[in-house]
Structure 1
Amino acid sequence: MSTAVPDETSAVEAPGSGGTRLVDRVLAMRELAILVVFLVMIAVTQAANSRFLSVQGVKDLLLNATILVLVATGQSLVVITRNVDLSVGSTLGISAFAAGTWLHGGGDPVVAVLLAVLLGVGTGLLNGLLVSLGQVPALVVTLGTLYIIRGADSVWVGSRQITAADLPGGFVDFGSGGLSAVPWLALIALAVPAATAYYLKHYGGGRELYALGSDPEAARLAGIPVRRRLLAAYTCCGGLAGLAGALYLARFGNVDSGTGTGYELTVVSAVVVGGVAFTGGSGSVYGAALGALLLTSVNSVLPALGVSSVWVLAIDGVLLLLAIAVDRIVALRVSAALRKKAALRRTTMAKEKAGA
């Protein structure tokens, strides 16, 4: 089995196979379709509300997507391996409070961010060890760690709350500042998926994540260090959730025991809507980032159009179901293409033998 996965897509067969080319085309169209839907949605909203794309409006639109883009990038690494991390919301919450506690005590902002990232790496490492070494289903493991981390967070935080008044002014200003309509946080959210996508495409460890997600048993037989790759994916996911927690604190300046509750479902929705197949082995972090941008934009668009925000969850659910349906159709088309290719190969070999 080949581990070279061009353009961050499924390692279905050797590079250049009909199945792989089909997946490449479909995923490219999927990401393009998400971008088109996003642009049309923004254009319609601007036409109905001329103040929507003001400098502050664009800034808010980008800021709203920042946190979800970061966590979705980490989640996509795990989903590509045919696993999931449901503890990212809890990790974000406890990391944000840890950073806030450090800053409230007069600590350095850079150290606060590093503390949040290290805490996230620790939770990701725990998940990765339980899944890779314990051979426990990822859904069960991360559901358990979700409650463990949330419980620890609730005991630690209690009724306390970190507010903007408890934080250094420069830290809060960084969370809302930027270059005109482009926030600093949005630049970070752009750099992280770009760096992750580069790693997945150009480094063997990244390509092996796709091979692992496509067929775990074949990956083991091919000599891929499956446990190490799973551990790396979960650790990166936890680290990015921790980073997102620190940036959440800078963005909102307010953290309590409920921070991040239910966030894991939004993250999974963003990843799946963005084209990362829940069955593993295909998708891209760019798609996950676009899915996050689309879902968070719905929250801004509806109020601007005068539509009740209660429709947000319903729309998110519809988008998720559509994404799952598309994934199923793609899987069937790829399977049919591979069967057709195999039949053609057998026919060609039979003719060659008959001619000999």
Structure 2
Amino acid sequence: MINLKKLIAARETLLLGVVVSLVLLIATRFPGFVAPRNLANVFNDTSPLIILALGQMIVIVARCIDLSVAANLALTGMIVAMLNTMMPGLPVIVTLTLAVAIGAMLGSINGLFVWKLDIPPIVVTLGTMTIFRGIIFLISDGKWVNAHEMSQSFTNFPRMELLGLPALSWIAVLVAVAIWLLVSRTPMGRSFYAAGGNPHAAVYTGINVGKTQFFAFVISGALAGLTGYLWVARYAVAYVDIAGGFELEVVAACVIGGISIAGGIGSVAGAVLGALFLGVIKNALPVINVSPFWQLAISGAAIVIAVALNARANKTKGRIILKNAEHAQ
């Protein structure tokens, strides 16, 4: 366990160094990039990705994957946007609660299929991703909900500033703290790692692996629902293809952050740093006149390197176990 913690800490430190170095390198071309206000804007732009990556982290740690998060975001966002057009006086706190509840319900659908029917998570979430997008088209008839149809309180909430940061950024911070407390201070959090690290051994310790994975999907769905409202309110528009393909960016943030696709390994700091790495690239490259195609190439290279490092770490751990077994004999 100590070696595992050291490995995770080393990956986080390395990634933090990469993010800081990247920011400083960009500052040599565009000094204004490191201005506090601009860095705050970069963090705010990355906040939706951070929230979704934290939910995805729990799912991946539990040895699953959720490819429906962006579709969940889009469907929840469309529902609350349409509700706002019908009930413009609905308090924001009620809208937030509904968004989280709807997202959690959609996530529970994924969890039930994985838990009760034992269908591979990638198959389930690919299917629900398509279904959710189809439902958006059915309920909206393919039409957009635009800014002039939304109430001012609905669209203003994510932009409300406190101590120089918008509410969207503060929510990302609060979610990060809440997920950290969940995975490090509660039995449920520890069960995610146990179920993902060694599901067979977890059963013998009294952990219901399927039920644990179900709750991982519920949490991921709830955060996707929360992000759905924040996304739609911030950009003041809702439509069928909102956040199209964003699920791949969420998974990329987790992989770059050191969360092992094999399950059982990952941290909140890693997920946040992985998201920030992609956020810095996304915001910086256009500013310094670098082609968006390089953004894809850099992100792809980072994913390949991260996967290679994960594979190497797993091989090293396997050699240590074998070595210890030989000494025991």
1:172-211 alignment runs, 5 A limit:
172-179=155-162, 181-211=164-194
* Distance (whole Å) between structure 2 residues aligned to residue 135 and residue 217 of structure 1: 15
CA distance in 2, matches of 1:339, 1:21: 18
Report the counterpart of residue 113 of structure 1 in structure 2: 96
Which amino acid is the alignment partner of residue 33 of structure 2?
F
Identical counterparts, % of pairs: 31
Q: Which runs of 4+ in 1 moved over 4 A?
A: none
Give the counterpart letter for 1:32 in structure 2: T
Deviation at 1:65, TM superposition (A): 0.8
Does residue 128 (structure 1) correspond to residue 114 (structure 2)? The answer is no
Q: TM-score, normalised by structure 2?
A: 0.95
Higher Cα Rg, which structure: 1
**RMSD, aligned CA:** 1.5
Aligned to 2:133: 150
Q: Which residue matches 1:277?
A: 260
- What is the CA–CA distance in structure 2 between the aligned matches of 1:21 and 1:302, rounded to whole Å? 38
Name structure 2 gaps, 5 residues minimum. Answer: none
Hey, what's the Cα distance between the residues in 1 that align with 2:7 and 2:314?
11
Matched, 1:41 2:5: no
Read off the aligned partner of 2:174 and give its amino acid letter: A
- Other-structure match for 2:46: 65
Higher mean alpha-carbon deviation, 228-237 vs 153-162, is at: 153-162
Task: Encode CA deviations 1:21-59: one digit per residue, 9 max, x unaligned.
Answer: 222212111111111111111112222112223354223
Conserved 8 A contact 1:92-1:242:
yes
Matches within 5 A, 1:154-303: 154-179=137-162, 181-303=164-286
Structure 2 contact 56–66 (Cα < 8 Å) conserved: yes
* 1:77 corresponds to 2:58: yes
CA deviations over 1:109-146 (Å, ceiling 9, x no partner) = 22222221111111111100000110111111111111
CA contact (8 A) 1:69 1:289 kept: yes
**2:43·2:279 contact (CA, 8 Å) conserved in 1?**
no
Unpaired segments of 5 or more residues in structure 1?
1-19, 347-356
On the 8 A contact 1:158/1:257 being kept in 2, the answer is: no
Greater Cα offset, 110-119 or 275-284: 110-119
Secondary structure of residue in 2 paired with 1:170: helix
Q: Is the CA contact (8 Å cut-off) linking 1:58 and 1:181 kept in structure 2?
A: no
Equivalent-residue separation in structure 2 for 1:320 and 1:298 (angstroms): 13
Shift of 1:342: 2.0
CA distance in 2 between counterparts of 1:312 and 1:158 reads 34
Aligned partner of 1:354 in structure 2 is none
Moved more, 76-85 or 250-259: 250-259
- Give the whole-Å Cα distance in 1 for the aligned partners of 2:153 and 2:27: 33
AA in 1 matched with 2:119: V
Matched residue SS, 2:292: coil
Aligned residues: 327
Query: Cα 1:256–1:148, aligned 2, differ >3 Å: closer, same or farther?
Result: same
Cα deviations across residues 163-221 of structure 1 (Å, max 9, x unaligned)? 22222223323322323542221111011121111121121111111111111122112
Structure-2 change in CA distance of 1:166 and 1:53 (3 Å): farther
Q: In the aligned structure 2, how far is the partner of 1:47 from the partner of 1:181?
A: 25
Equivalent AA in structure 1 for residue 208 of structure 2: P
- 2:35 & 2:208 partners in 1: Cα distance? 50
The answer to whether the 8 Å contact 1:70/1:193 transfers is yes
The offset of 1:248, in angstroms, is 0.6
Residue identity matched to 1:61: V
* AA at the equivalent of 1:77: I
Structure 1's 59 and 252: CA in aligned 2 closer, same or farther, altered over 3 A? Answer: farther
- Cα distance between partner residues in 2 of 1:201 and 1:66: 22
CA, structure 1 residues 44+100, in 2 after alignment: closer, same or farther (shift >3 Å)?
Answer: same
* Counterpart residue number, 1:101: 82
Residue equivalent to 2:2: 21
Alignment of 1:312 with 2:324, yes or no, is no
8 A Cα contact 1:100 1:112, kept in partner: no
Q: Structure 2: how far apart are the matches of 1:155 and 1:264?
A: 22
- 2:256 and 2:306 in contact (8 A); partners too: yes
Q: Distance in 2 between matches of 1:331 and 1:286?
A: 20
Distance 2:80 2:44 in 1: 19
